[in-house]
Amino acid sequence: MSIANGKVADGHAMSEMASAYLDALRATGANLVIAAHVIALYLGMSDPYSLGNLGVALFFLLSGFLIMQSMLNWLNKPEPRFAGFFADRVARIMTPYVPALVLIALANLFIATNHSQGGSNTGVLQFIGNFLLLQDHAVFQGLEFAGIDFPWRIRAYNSAEPFWTVAIEMWIYVAMGWFVFCVLKRERIDRWLGGALLAIALPVLIWNAAAGGGKSLTLIWLLGAIAGYLFHVWRANGYPNIRSVSTVIALFGTVALIGRAGKIGFHPYDFQTATLIALVMFGLLGLLMGVKSVPGVLRGSVNFLASYSYSLYLIHNTVLILVLEQVRTEHSWLHIAIAVIAAHGCAYLLYVTFERHYRVVGRWLRPKFERVLAPRGASPISSAAADLVAGGPAAASRQER
């Protein structure tokens, strides 16, 4: 049911339909990447429809949108804010990531597979490098671009090929969090540790604005962040003229995207194409802000598929490869069906066992990050005291990736 006067029900809160839409985008992104890997592994074609690239582009647009809103929410809390924000991001990324990495390393020990990006991608160094999210770091890629390569370059661990985007995303979080909290808001953190984090994060931010695996993933993330900021301002004013503005944006983006795809082909990593995708994506979000409710079955189904989408992204490629090499069937489509169902099943188990507990991990990490990142000689406020000053912990958004 639409809301009169072009505003959301209370003028501020996100509608159920808009929330379901964001969940649907998360689930769609993960399954597009699966489809691309199925086509490559089982049909021998290299993503002819750019499905995997579209899935990653959707992830980065969503990430920028949601993390910008998360940073804006953190600005309403007392210091230390960067440490809390960083702890939450580490918990969200690493809670399922570390178990997935361990499982993939164990699979590599017992089952011989070699479906990776090439180069040295197994062993202790590669495992530690992936654990620290240094795989395919911008420094390695920059040296390769300069014609300098070396045998100890850290790559995504064997069949964990999708891990390259996780590292990029994490270091973008660090760089943008440092910029918002430490530069714009003048929050002080430990100089040496802050400098070390920045030394790792800043090259990733810059390199992936113009090169890297996705050619412009930093810029795509920033598109989502800009949209997140604009929606934040729009929300503060009660979403005036939301239907008319969103309709114009969505229609303009759709027509322009069709025209560009027809002219040069569909390339989601192309920044101009990604900008048009963002206009369509967030224009539709604005339109759905005016829809008050969503059928319960649809909402439940979308929420379920979205809940384990990150775990699915992490583990699916390894499962697809294991089924390809270890399961024998006479019919290729049956083989594909078994692989996809197995990937979803394993991802859900990873979610239930680890990923869904990331908020607990975040609460455990916050005081530790506050102590470690506090300026030398300072007495950091505890998480419990910070919650008391702020009036209690804010409800975490279900949409955070």
φ, ψ at 131 (rounded to 5°):
-60, -35
- The predicted model gives 60-75 an average pLDDT of 96
Whole-number Å distance between alpha carbons of 208 and 38: 26
Six token digits for residue 130: 């992936």
Q: What is the pLDDT of residues 201-242, one digit of tens each?
A: 999 999 999 998 888 999 999 999 999 999 999 998 888 999
Asked if the model's pLDDT at residue 119 lies above 70, the reply is no
> In 178-329, which ranges are continuous DSSP H helix?
191-207, 217-236, 242-264, 271-288, 296-307, 309-326
Whole-number Å distance between alpha carbons of 130 and 116: 14
Asked if the model's pLDDT at residue 382 lies above 50, the reply is no
- The predicted model gives 331-342 an average pLDDT of 95
SS3 content of the chain, % helix, strand, coil (to 5): 70, 0, 30
Residue 177 lies in a domain: yes
What is the pTM for the complete model shown?
Answer: 0.89
Asked if the model's pLDDT at residue 68 lies above 50, the reply is yes
- Of 62, 28, 33, the closest CA to residue 316 belongs to 33
If DSSP codes are grouped into helix, strand and coil, which group holds residue 2?
strand
Residue 398 lies in a domain: no
Residue 86 has a pLDDT of 97
Residue 311 lies in a domain: yes
If DSSP codes are grouped into helix, strand and coil, which group holds residue 209?
coil
Residue 291 has a pLDDT of 84
pLDDT: is 147 or 382 the higher one? 147
Six token digits for residue 173: 């979080």
Q: What is the pLDDT of residues 13-24, one digit of tens each?
A: 678 899 999 999
Tell me which amino acid residue 105 is. Answer: A
Q: What is the pLDDT of residues 345-371, one digit of tens each?
A: 999 999 999 999 999 999 999 999 999
Asked if the model's pLDDT at residue 399 lies above 60, the reply is no
Residue 386 lies in a domain: yes
Asked if the model's pLDDT at residue 400 lies above 70, the reply is no
CB atoms within 10 A of CB 320: 23
Domain tally for the chain? 1
- The DSSP result for 360-387, as a single string, is HHHHHHHHHHHHHHSPTT--PPPHHHHH
Give every CB contact of residue 230 below 8 A, 6+ residues apart in sequence.
Answer: none
| CA atoms 382, 387, 390, 393: torsion sign | positive
Give every CB contact of residue 183 below 8 A, 6+ residues apart in sequence.
Answer: none
Residue 116 has a pLDDT of 57
Residue 395 lies in a domain: no
Q: How confident is the model at residue 108 (pLDDT cuts 50, 70, 90)?
A: confident
- The predicted model gives 117-122 an average pLDDT of 67
Q: Return mean pLDDT, the chain.
A: 88
Residue 28 lies in a domain: yes
Q: For the chain, give the number of residues.
A: 401
Give how far the C-alpha of residue 79 lies from the chain's centroid of Cα atoms, to the nearest Å: 26
Share of the chain above pLDDT 70, in %: 88
Q: By residue range, what is the domain housing residue 383? A: 4-390
Whole-number Å distance between alpha carbons of 28 and 54: 10
Residue 250 lies in a domain: yes
